[in-house]
Amino acid sequence: MKKFFFIISNFIKLLIYNLLIILWHIWFLLINIILVPFWAGASIPFLFHDKNYPIVYWFHQMWARSNLFLMGFWYVLETDKEILDKKKQYVIISNHTSIMDIMLIYSLMRHHPLVFVGKAELAKLPFFGFVYKNSNILLDRNSLSSCKKVFKKIQSQIDYGKSICLFPEGRVPNPSILLGNFKSGAFAIAIIKKIPIVIFTIADIKTKFPKFALLKGKPGKIRIKQHHSISTKNFSLKEKNILKQKCFNLIKFQLEQFYSDKY
C-alpha cells in the first residue's frame, strides 16, 4: 500500500510540474502578444530612416529585457576585462540554442546598435515579422541568390555604422550537439570590413528554454562568457577558415568548462 501511495504521489508531483511548465510557456506567448505590439509598434515611426536606428534599437532592447525579466531569467556575465569601444563597430557571434539568445545579445550590446542576420521565415509572423524584416537582415538559406544579396546588405549596414550579429551555426542545432559546425559568412565579412569580432558563449538556455520543447525548461540564471575581441586587421580572406576555427574552439572550450562546473 505504501508503494502504491508513493507511486501516486510521484505521479501527481510530475503532473503538477509538467502543468506549471506548460503554463510558463503559455505565459511566454501571452507576454509577447502584449510586448511585441507595444515595443515594436512604438518603433515603427522610426524604422525607415537609418539615422533613427539607435531609437529603434532602444525599443528592441526594451522588448528583449522585458521578456527576460518576465520569464524569470537573469544572466551572469564573465568577461576578459575588456571594455568595448562605444565608437567602434563589431561583428558579434555566439552559439545558438534558443530564441532567448537574441534577447540576451540585445541586452548585452546596449551601446552598439546592431542588426541580426536571421532566417526569412520570421518575416511571416504577424506584426513582429513586419518590424523584424525592416530592421534586420533576412536570409533564405535555400537560395544562393538570397545569400549573395544578404552579403551585400550586411556590408551596406556596416557602412551605415551598425554592428552585425550572426549565429555562425546557421540554426539551432539538435539538443544532443554541444556546438554545431560554423559557416564562414561572419568571418568573411569581418575580414573584408576589418571589423573586430566579439564572441559570446551562452550556457544554460539549451536546457532552460529549449526550442520546441513544451514540457522542458525553467526560469533561472544564465551564464555567459564575453571573450576578448579578435582583431581581423592581419587576416586575409584566404585565412577566414583559420579565424572560424579559432572562434569555434573558443566557444566549444568555454561550453565544456561551463558544463563541467558544478551548477
| Residue 167, pLDDT above cutoff 60 | yes
pLDDT per residue over 101-122, tens digit each? 999 999 999 999 999 987 777 6
| Residue 188, pLDDT above cutoff 80 | yes
| Residue 249, pLDDT above cutoff 80 | yes
Q: Which amino acid is at 248?
A: F
Q: How much is the pLDDT for 191?
A: 96
Query: How does residue 57 score in pLDDT terms, banded at 50, 70 and 90?
Result: very high
Torsions phi, psi of 164, nearest 5? -125, 140
How many independent structural domains does the chain possess? Answer: 1
Buried b or exposed e, range 237-260, using 16+ CB within 10 angstroms: eeebeebbeebbebbeebbeebee
Structural domain for 132, as ranges: 2-260
Buried b or exposed e, range 120-154, using 16+ CB within 10 angstroms: bebbeeeebbebbbebbbbbeeeeeeeeeebbebb
pTM, rounded to two decimals: 0.90
CATH of the domain at 21: 3.40.1130
